[in-house]
Amino acid sequence: MQIVVTGGTGFIGRPLCASLCQEGHRVTLLTRRREEALRVCGSTVTAVEWNGREAGAWERCLEGADAVVNLAGAPIADGRWTNARKRVLAESRVLTTRLLVEAMSRRTSKPRTLVSASGIGYYGAGDDRVLDEGAARGRGFLPDLCLAWEAEALRAAEFGVRVVLLRTGMVLEQDGGALPKMLLPFQFFAGGPIMPGTQWVSWIHRRDHIGLIQWALTTPSISGPVNAVAPEPVTMNRFCNVLAQVLHRPSWLPVPGFALRMALGELGTLMTTGQRVNPAKALSMGYVFHYPKLEPALQAILTKG
């Protein structure tokens, strides 16, 4: 397949592009920094410059493409959600997706599939309820952002494109995401859960996240939201206990939730609440997880080599 990827130099995009190329697909990467993209992703991809804000010559790479994978978006957890930061988070997702879909609509030979990122933040602050893809949207900045982001992607369905929305949980790998930040205190024997500790953590190994993207690209019967999480979410207490066990370190020094809320505001609240999310659609449609359980996932990540 000819596949166009946005966000291809990031934590998910880099290994995704490598995997797609290894499988024989032709990958075109839309990027703000072409030379850096080629350095990071290698010469097996074609890198085309775009700024994510305006139409241009980059649109030609969509002509005749089989699929688009849209991973563009500024990191959610990189700092306090000031009004300025919220604008960056929204524009890098909503406006970029709008631009991409509008460009797709103008093609004579349009891509057949759009796999677009979203997040389990769609469901808002949760409790012990199990949330599948049919669960209601929550309230607050992040649910509203996810709704607007998904709405822009779904516009592609109006001109016959199959749209898959990957509502992603906490992606685990050692070279990015939340895990390296969690590892540091454990490595200094000062690790522990973010309080209250009973909040749910819906996680997924990066290999499975990439696997779900590839599965969505090649499974024509899949459309709409798909929860990109492992089948067995855990509480924060359990997550830290398993992490401590794998690292042979104690989990004994909890992080006060009120301190995070004071320091990070709404982002701190996000970290002290959670969602118990179930990948119902992926399981019912036959996706087989490489890492359905947390301990083997962390073992695979932290004992490499």
Distance CA 95, CA 97 (A): 5
Beta bridge partners of 250: none
Locate 20 and state its tokens. 């797609």
| C-alpha to C-alpha distances, 229 to 131, 171, 239, 289, 298, nearest whole angstrom | 11, 8, 14, 10, 15
Instruction: Encode the chain (305 residues) as per-residue pLDDT tens digits.
Output: 999 999 989 999 999 999 999 999 999 999 988 888 888 777 789 999 998 888 899 999 999 999 999 999 999 988 889 999 999 999 999 999 999 999 999 999 999 999 999 999 999 988 899 999 999 999 999 999 999 999 999 999 999 999 999 999 999 999 999 999 999 999 999 999 999 999 999 999 999 999 999 999 999 999 999 999 999 999 999 999 999 999 999 999 999 887 777 777 887 888 888 999 999 999 999 999 999 999 999 999 999 75
Assigned domain for 184 exists: no
Assigned domain for 198 exists: no
Residue 222 sits in a domain whose CATH number is 3.40.50.720
Q: Which residues contact 163 (CB under 8 A, 6 or more apart)?
A: 113, 114, 116, 153, 154, 156, 157, 223, 224
Assigned domain for 270 exists: no
Assigned domain for 76 exists: yes
Q: What is the pTM of this model?
A: 0.95
Assigned domain for 248 exists: no
108: number of CA atoms within 13 Å, CB side? Answer: 1
Per the structure, the count of domains in the chain is 1
Looking only at the bridges linking them, the beta strands covering 67-70 and 130-131 are unpaired
Domain that includes residue 57, residue range: 2-170+205-229+278-289
Assigned domain for 186 exists: no
DSSP code at position 169 = -
Assigned domain for 240 exists: no
Residue whose C-alpha is closest to residue 289's, from 229, 238, 200: 229
Assigned domain for 128 exists: yes
